[in-house]
Structure 1
Amino acid sequence: MTDKAVIRREDIELLAPAGDWECMKAAVANGADAIFFGVEKFNARARANNFKMEELPEIMRFLHRYGVKGFLTFNILVFEDELRDARVLVDACIEAGVDAVIVQDLGLVKMIREMSPDFPIHGSTQMTITSPEAVEFTKPFGLERVVLGRENNLKQIKKIGEQAKLPMEVFVHGALCVSYSGQCLTSEVWGGRSANRGECAQACRLPYDLMVDGVQKPMGDIAYLLSPKDLAALDLMPELIEAGVTSFKIEGRLKSPEYVANVVSKYRRAIDKYFEGDESEPSAEEVRELQQSFSRGFTHGFLEGTNNKKLVDGTFPKSRGVYLGRVEKILRDGVVCTIEAPLKRGDGLVFDAGDPTKKEEGGRVYDVRRSGTKLEGEVPEGERIEIVMGRSDVDLTRLHEGDRIWKTSDPALDKRLRSTFETEKPYRTFPVAVTVEGREGAPLRTIWTDLDKGSTVVAQSEMPLERAEKRPLGREVLEEQLGRLGGTLYRLEQLTVSLEGEVIVPKSELNRIRRDAAERLEAMRELPPKYTRLQGAGALAPKVSFKADPEPVTSPRLTALCRTLEQVKAAVRTDAAMIYADFEFIKQFPDAIAVCREAGKPIALATPRIHMPGENGYHRNILNLKPDAVLVRNTGALYYYLRERAEKPGEKHPLLIGDFSLNVSNHKTVELFREAGLDWVTPSYDLNIQQMVDMLRMADTSRLEIVIHQHLPMFHTEHCVYCTFLSEGTDYTNCGRPCEEHRASLQDRIGMSHPVRVDEGCRNTVYNAIEQSGAEYLSEFKELGVPSYRVEFLEENAEKVQEVLSLYRSALDGRIGGSEVWRKLKATNQLGVTRGQLVR
């Protein structure tokens, strides 16, 4: 554990969400140190009300007035045609004095650094930063802090902090994504609403049937196999502080101001308790109030390590509030229940019969009785009572004994929370020190120092001090008049009086001095920070060409990604220029290498999508196998391989090919990764055909490879479906490895079964059941100079591998058109084939 003595209260930040002005005020009023918010464009909460760009100066004045920082969320991928608008928004942020932008797109990071060397950038959780190496990769770009992946546990967080030595921001409360942030393509695949564009359709909250080896597994009332509970780390705050976390982030830009007020005030208290030496646990009432604002059930997420059984409940996908108990008896006007939480008239309830897809009964509590006698006020938990419901609200004939009851709203709590920010008083006050000087015949001089900011103003009387005939100006009068700071941001904390002789000035003049000083100090708090601007920088320059490798590509090449040894053996018998091996377990790689070596084919080995602390052994093993190339899927792994190159310059190193998961969606990102040392770059799967063409026109295409055919990977998750639902275990140490014996898939509402595959780190990828083909766009890509095209296989047999590669080879050579490839694929595929996101 970190020594408490070296952790300073002022180094710890409570970071709150704000989707609108009310939420922002609720956060400030309840103790947030910083706020994150979005404007109408370029943020990962497209459905939030969001602010307008022209409001930035007003927002920052309001926040800085109260000593609160404001971070703008810019946490989406930026497409080529949006770079100019993105530049305008960054410029507005610099001008308004925004304290930092939270960025996902590394191309945007590059553009910001071309505009200003010191404007603060925070690496979003969408960057999928989960290891010290991933943090190190960002350091040349001057990031001020990183937001770690929600899958990192306490030990890993501590290790990242100790090794990488960059401030860390961690989510402590709110909704959890089942997929790694920045690595979820489900909404994109199914509806063209990309999670990397702030348009997540929450496919993880839908019901699925679990198919095991092609047969549906009976699951009872468990249908929401990918819907996690909500994160609540209130009781882990001491451990997180001592692990080196400096910023504690609350999720919820789509939530109500009451939610913001509630959650911020609870975490404010938890942080303050730590520094007061109070080691008491959060009270049951505090936890209940948090559940009341929003809860799908609370979990520590991954903070204490992976426990698949605790992460997903599976019986409901939406907020339930506070668990009240079960229906014990149904009356003519209500139900009998032994309540497990306090209840009073006016509270809202819902009756849970175990199938949230059907209409659920619920409404307001009309009355609470004990044995027919009406009870006043709030009834404490533990009592067996009669809950009277309005029969116009609740159809009591649809209820059953044993149904769970949830308290979904508490108007009294909401009223109390609103009162914290619906007030005319300032939300915060700050200490001020005043020095008073003067002598007869000279003006009274007062020096006011804002002890929070350190700023100082001098305010003088407009008339000279006169000799006092009766009551000379003394400390008592000055304290009373200058201390009347109600309605301002200040409270008088220190007063120093240095008056020569017995002098006097009218009280009206003291009042004027006080008002003038307070107004000027407040205005100084609102001044924006100044950042360096580089003239004419960040402009969209012409294509940058990079030094080609010694083997130029003269005609379009075809490569094949294989996930079984059978596929590798089939692919080497084609003219594929390179074989990628993407196997579930690293122990299968040597066989694939042997097959390729015998056939004289170059082979690339794929890394996992995620890189966690302590996982470099995987990459060491890859290098020991001496592949011709490595398919790099994350910045942590990329940093590892680039460091190996730098440390061993005389050795032969594999080519480094950046995969789709690096989220390259504009030419600036292409440049950044090529400058960093990637030999080849694969564009993001978020691009549709127009966005792809726009990027190709601006980028150096000579080392781009487009994936032209694949089963799109939708969810990529630390949550293991095999462990959760096919074993008694909680993680890889005790699950019995059902993934080695069975094949699972998730069947959606229209009957499509989406395969679930594991990797060496026991992470799951859910693949789209239907293949995607971009064959119809091949001619456009070729015209724009793309030299390499990848076909990715999932479950295909050897015959299918050769047939598909032959089709694409014919199309690349111009013997058949892309539309004919499409028609033939559609005819031979049982489930058909899709154009996927490319068509939109």
Structure 2
Amino acid sequence: MLEILAPCGNEETLNAVLNSGTDAVYLGLHSFSARKNAVNFSGEELKSAVQAAHRQGVRVYVTLNTLVFDEEIKALEKAVNEICCAKADGVIVQDFGVAGKVKEIAPNLRLHASTQMTVTSASGAEFVQKQGFSRVVLPRELSLAEIREITSRVDIETEVFVHGALCVCVSGQCLLSAVIGGRSGNRGLCAQPCRLNYKCENRENVLSLKDLSLISELKLLEQAGVTSAKIEGRMKRPEYAAAAVFQCRAALKGEKADEELLKRVFSRSGFTKGYFDGSLSDMQGIRQREDSEGSEEALAQIRQLYKTPCKRFFIDMEVNVKNGQPVSCMAECNGIFVCVYGEAPQKALKRSITESEIAVQMGKLGGTVFELGKFKCSVDDGLFISASALNDIRRKAVDEICSNIARKIEEG
């Protein structure tokens, strides 16, 4: 199954994409991130973010994707140790020196080759694989045929951008921001001067590109052997990332992606598929007044959707209420089994608890990523247990399942 990978520039966006059903997230620390002006995460915030994600079965990749100077090595070592301590699932790296330092400090931490490495061929993918990388983030400048060539020839995970901003230059090779204003994209400070109104003959804004959107092509990418569908946007608002996740999930189910909704959330004169299908003549675009029409309504609609967590898992439960014994609940989810206990039932003074009443309480899984699957119950006659006691047992079971889901991810 194609992984949906969402951007997180802050905690609010993290919560939005988790509730929207993403499979994985990528985010940055306050240093060594190619989106230095995003809010980003401290070491402690990263630890909390990873814990929250892992409890939902979601992986976390951390960006260490800037070029690093010699005098920054100590700070880099500190960042790598923070990432290890947080139990993140991998790091996205541009600088081979950074990759070497990661291997030295944390040999078991997965390395992902950043799009800024400009790996555009099977030979390039094979090279980074031999350097210890387990995944390569392919540049946006590749066609479907070129992507297929890489996935068919090299046994390495591939990550492809499917929604978000396009760079007018080759990914990772643009020096325009550094030359014009001293702000290097490879140091996390791109000022996006390409969005200025450069003119050529009778054309305007010739360097400003529309945003890419390949969400309608996810099935093709999956068939091509791509591992992960990446959404760009760590500088964007939570609704932007959440909307893209929702539409990716719909597309992977075989439903038609709502491109109009995505346009209303954010676009620059619509979207392009760019190099993917050779639509090079229709790539230029700027943010216009029409692009923001209906934007507030669309944002409100998205916020409503991610207010509560989407259901990721079915959880089966078996509850036993026996005279003189603590109430037990055995729960199973994706091969994870737990058993929790509550207080012993009381003798019924007016009426006995019924199996259907227990089922109702155990099925109250709102605010969680679970949905009640199979349910079995055995109750001795003449017993009663309060709704609050059943709620406590259900919460314990859910908490144990979540802890085990996180442990399973962290143990690989």
Q: Do they superpose with TM above 0.5?
A: yes
RMSD of Structure 2 on Structure 1 (CA): 2.7
In the alignment, does 2:397 pair up with 1:514? no
Q: Closer, same or farther in 2 for the Cα pair 1:312/1:506, shift >3 Å? A: closer
Partners of 1:446 and 1:49 lie apart in 2 by 42
Other-structure match for 2:281: 309
RCO comparison, higher one (Cα < 8 Å, 6+): 2
Query: Which shows bigger deviation, 426-435 or 152-161?
Result: 426-435
In the alignment, does 2:386 pair up with 1:413? no
Does the residue aligned with 2:253 lie in a helix, a strand or coil?
Answer: helix
Q: Letter of the 1:13 partner, please give it.
A: E
Q: Letter of the 2:263 partner, please give it.
A: Q
Q: Following superposition of structure 1 onto structure 2, how do residues 363-402 of structure 1 map, counting pairs within 5 Å?
A: none
Does the residue aligned with 1:302 lie in a helix, a strand or coil?
Answer: helix
Pick from 250, 253, 257: which aligns with 1:269?
Answer: 250
In the alignment, does 2:374 pair up with 1:494? yes
Number of residues paired by the alignment?
A: 410
Q: CA offset at residue 145 of structure 1?
A: 1.1
Instruction: Judge conservation of contact 2:21–2:309 (CA < 8 Å) in 1.
Output: no
Partners of 2:185 and 2:160 lie apart in 1 by 20
Does the residue aligned with 1:149 lie in a helix, a strand or coil?
Answer: coil
In the alignment, does 2:343 pair up with 1:462? yes
Q: CA offset at residue 67 of structure 1?
A: 2.4
Does the residue aligned with 1:47 lie in a helix, a strand or coil?
Answer: coil
Q: Following superposition of structure 1 onto structure 2, how do residues 611-630 of structure 1 map, counting pairs within 5 Å?
A: none
Q: CA offset at residue 502 of structure 1?
A: 4.2
Partners of 1:180 and 1:107 lie apart in 2 by 22
Pick from 314, 319, 329: which aligns with 2:287?
Answer: 319
In the alignment, does 2:69 pair up with 1:79? yes
1:694-731 Cα deviation digits (max 9, x unpaired): xxxxxxxxxxxxxxxxxxxxxxxxxxxxxxxxxxxxxx
The runs of 5 or more residues in structure 1 that have no matched partner are 1-10, 211-218, 321-349, 351-404, 533-840
- Normalised by the length of structure 2, the TM-score is 0.89
Q: CA offset at residue 134 of structure 1?
A: 0.8
Does the residue aligned with 2:327 lie in a helix, a strand or coil?
Answer: strand
Q: CA offset at residue 235 of structure 1?
A: 2.5
Query: Which shows bigger deviation, 96-105 or 186-195?
Result: 186-195
Partners of 1:410 and 1:41 lie apart in 2 by 33
In the alignment, does 2:263 pair up with 1:291? yes
Q: Letter of the 1:241 partner, please give it.
A: E
Q: Closer, same or farther in 2 for the Cα pair 1:31/1:530, shift >3 Å? A: closer
Other-structure match for 2:223: 242
Q: Closer, same or farther in 2 for the Cα pair 1:129/1:524, shift >3 Å? A: same
Q: Letter of the 2:205 partner, please give it.
A: Y
Instruction: Judge conservation of contact 2:7–2:232 (CA < 8 Å) in 1.
Output: yes
Q: Following superposition of structure 1 onto structure 2, how do residues 706-745 of structure 1 map, counting pairs within 5 Å?
A: none
Q: CA offset at residue 49 of structure 1?
A: 2.0
Does the residue aligned with 1:36 lie in a helix, a strand or coil?
Answer: strand
Pick from 473, 478, 493: which aligns with 2:358?
Answer: 478
In the alignment, does 2:32 pair up with 1:42? yes
Other-structure match for 2:41: 51
Does the residue aligned with 1:462 lie in a helix, a strand or coil?
Answer: coil
Pick from 411, 429, 435: which aligns with 2:318?
Answer: 435
Q: Letter of the 1:114 partner, please give it.
A: E
Q: Letter of the 2:385 partner, please give it.
A: P
Q: CA offset at residue 519 of structure 1?
A: 3.3
1:639-681 Cα deviation digits (max 9, x unpaired): xxxxxxxxxxxxxxxxxxxxxxxxxxxxxxxxxxxxxxxxxxx
Does the residue aligned with 2:331 lie in a helix, a strand or coil?
Answer: strand
In the alignment, does 2:62 pair up with 1:62? no
Partners of 1:146 and 1:17 lie apart in 2 by 17
Q: CA offset at residue 230 of structure 1?
A: 1.6
Partners of 2:207 and 2:63 lie apart in 1 by 26
Instruction: Judge conservation of contact 1:122–1:146 (CA < 8 Å) in 2.
Output: yes
Other-structure match for 2:116: 126
Instruction: Judge conservation of contact 1:429–1:488 (CA < 8 Å) in 2.
Output: no
Other-structure match for 2:4: 14
Instruction: Judge conservation of contact 2:329–2:341 (CA < 8 Å) in 1.
Output: yes
Q: CA offset at residue 253 of structure 1?
A: 1.2
When Rg is computed on C-alpha atoms for both structures, the one with the higher figure is 1
1:174-202 Cα deviation digits (max 9, x unpaired): 11111112212222223221111111122
Other-structure match for 1:260: 241
Partners of 1:81 and 1:88 lie apart in 2 by 13
Partners of 2:161 and 2:186 lie apart in 1 by 18
Q: Closer, same or farther in 2 for the Cα pair 1:472/1:69, shift >3 Å? A: same
Other-structure match for 1:93: 83
Q: CA offset at residue 266 of structure 1?
A: 1.8
Partners of 1:197 and 1:70 lie apart in 2 by 22
Q: CA offset at residue 25 of structure 1?
A: 2.1
Partners of 1:474 and 1:229 lie apart in 2 by 60
1:260-298 Cα deviation digits (max 9, x unpaired): 22222222211122xxxx5xx54xxx3222222222232
In the alignment, does 2:213 pair up with 1:232? yes
Partners of 2:163 and 2:60 lie apart in 1 by 19
Partners of 2:17 and 2:128 lie apart in 1 by 30
Q: CA offset at residue 506 of structure 1?
A: 2.4
Partners of 2:119 and 2:37 lie apart in 1 by 25
1:316-352 Cα deviation digits (max 9, x unpaired): xx322xxxxxxxxxxxxxxxxxxxxxxxxxxxxx3xx
Q: CA offset at residue 244 of structure 1?
A: 1.4
Partners of 1:198 and 1:295 lie apart in 2 by 23
- Normalised by the length of structure 1, the TM-score is 0.46
Partners of 2:263 and 2:343 lie apart in 1 by 58
Q: CA offset at residue 142 of structure 1?
A: 2.7
Q: CA offset at residue 479 of structure 1?
A: 1.5
Does the residue aligned with 2:314 lie in a helix, a strand or coil?
Answer: strand
Q: CA offset at residue 517 of structure 1?
A: 2.4
Instruction: Judge conservation of contact 1:259–1:294 (CA < 8 Å) in 2.
Output: yes
1:601-630 Cα deviation digits (max 9, x unpaired): xxxxxxxxxxxxxxxxxxxxxxxxxxxxxx
Instruction: Judge conservation of contact 1:432–1:448 (CA < 8 Å) in 2.
Output: yes
Q: Following superposition of structure 1 onto structure 2, how do residues 564-603 of structure 1 map, counting pairs within 5 Å?
A: none
Q: Following superposition of structure 1 onto structure 2, how do residues 645-794 of structure 1 map, counting pairs within 5 Å?
A: none
Partners of 1:59 and 1:420 lie apart in 2 by 21
Partners of 1:520 and 1:236 lie apart in 2 by 38
Q: Closer, same or farther in 2 for the Cα pair 1:428/1:84, shift >3 Å? A: farther
Q: CA offset at residue 523 of structure 1?
A: 4.1
Q: Following superposition of structure 1 onto structure 2, how do residues 531-546 of structure 1 map, counting pairs within 5 Å?
A: none
Q: Letter of the 2:328 partner, please give it.
A: R
Q: Closer, same or farther in 2 for the Cα pair 1:110/1:287, shift >3 Å? A: same
Other-structure match for 2:173: 183
Q: CA offset at residue 521 of structure 1?
A: 3.1
Partners of 1:87 and 1:513 lie apart in 2 by 43
1:500-524 Cα deviation digits (max 9, x unpaired): x646352354343223323333444
The percent of aligned pairs where both chains have the same amino acid is: 37
Q: Letter of the 2:386 partner, please give it.
A: K
Q: CA offset at residue 231 of structure 1?
A: 0.8
Partners of 2:154 and 2:132 lie apart in 1 by 13
Other-structure match for 2:383: 504
Partners of 2:135 and 2:96 lie apart in 1 by 14
Q: Letter of the 2:224 partner, please give it.
A: A
Q: Letter of the 2:299 partner, please give it.
A: D
Q: Closer, same or farther in 2 for the Cα pair 1:497/1:17, shift >3 Å? A: same
The runs of 5 or more residues in structure 2 that have no matched partner are none
Does the residue aligned with 1:463 lie in a helix, a strand or coil?
Answer: coil
Q: CA offset at residue 92 of structure 1?
A: 1.0
In the alignment, does 2:141 pair up with 1:151? yes
Does the residue aligned with 1:14 lie in a helix, a strand or coil?
Answer: strand
Partners of 1:112 and 1:159 lie apart in 2 by 29
Partners of 2:25 and 2:113 lie apart in 1 by 16
